[in-house]
């Protein structure tokens, strides 16, 4: 398992092209799920500043925030467009719909 310094270093060295789809989604919707990014819970909990810097290098210059739902899904979002509680509700519906689809 990577330690925090290694994890931050890995994110800091990531190519902006690796998150182009996520950048486009943020520009359109102001919200992107963890499934469309190379990041997981550990990244969001320890490397948000590095993730924000990566998004800036990729051309997304707005503020970012992250919300998670019961450790099952995470979303990066633009806090100027979404309230955290809205994103949390959206994530709950997203997780519930995935559970129904897999049942």
Q: What is the pLDDT of residues 41-72, one digit of tens each?
A: 889 989 999 999 999 999 999 999 999 999 89
| Selected residue with higher pLDDT from 49 and 2 | 49
CA angle 98, 101, 103 (to 5 degrees): 110
Give Cα 77 to chain centroid, integer Å: 7
pLDDT at residue 99, as a whole number: 85
pLDDT band of residue 101 (cuts 50, 70, 90) is: confident
Mean pLDDT rounded to a whole number for the chain: 93
pLDDT at residue 1, as a whole number: 53
Query: For residues 48, 53, 57 and 63, what is the CA-based torsion angle, rounded to 10 degrees?
Result: 80
Q: What is the pLDDT of residues 16-43, one digit of tens each?
A: 999 999 999 999 999 999 889 999 888 9
């Amino acid at each position: 398992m990577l330690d925090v310094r290694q994890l931050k270093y890995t994110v800091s060295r990531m190519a902006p092209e690796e998150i182009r789809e996520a950048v486009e989604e943020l520009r359109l919707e102001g919200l992107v799920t963890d499934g469309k990014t190379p990041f997981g819970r550990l990244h969001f909990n320890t490397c948000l500043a590095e993730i924000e810097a990566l998004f800036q290098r990729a051309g997304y210059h707005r503020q970012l925030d992250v919300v998670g739902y019961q450790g099952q899904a995470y979303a990066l979002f633009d806090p100027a467009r979404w309230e955290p509680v809205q994103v949390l509700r959206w994530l709950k519906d997203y997780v519930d719909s995935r559970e129904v689809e897999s049942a």
